[in-house]
Structure 1
């Protein structure tokens, strides 16, 4: 919690094929569903390594989405104001949905930073709004996202 804004982060991602081992991999389906259930219901800013399925997650190799289906399901229930992730480098950018601003902040343009090409940093500003009585009521989001 920072100045009334609740953050939650996770390095988890769907397990990759054996020829591409990566840290923090979990099996798609029940194993990831159990992990994403740990996201607090009142989270304001969610930080994950992996994107949710179908959101800024198209593989440059297959042309298909490779994000996490279980994460997408969890987000429809939890609806953080902002979800920041990476992993799929060519998905760099942002997408505003009615309840959540999704930001793929992948640094490297090429796979694992090949050829030294990097994306510009992404910044966003988020603040709890107060109602007339002084209690928190919703989020005010200003994003300088790509």
Structure 2
């Protein structure tokens, strides 16, 4: 068994696609219209693993989403975690692109983490295992 797909809820799929591809560097994998409301089955993947785990940029319209995301953000809990080779270098690269971090790079045992605001309603952790 392996993880095939995971998701983050986003308020605006077009905005999320721009952030996750142009800023974070993921590649668009699937973009399929679903339903009459303009929502899409919209996934991105790492350029390092284009056939790997997909991240669904899922519309946040369900009534349970807003309180869930608000509670996570208020408590500083990331909705997802992405592995990077060098947290400090990635932090510097993203900060130069205007990304806001809610947690600066921090060493915790064998890992270094930082947490960013994805501009789509989520906190995202980047992490490096040393």
TM-score bracket for the superposition, by shorter chain length: under 0.3
The structure whose Rg is larger is 1
Looking at secondary structure, tell me which structure has more helix per residue: 2
Q: Which has the higher contact order (CA 8 A, sep 6+)?
A: 2
Structure ranking higher in strand proportion: 2
TM-score, scaled to structure 2? 0.27
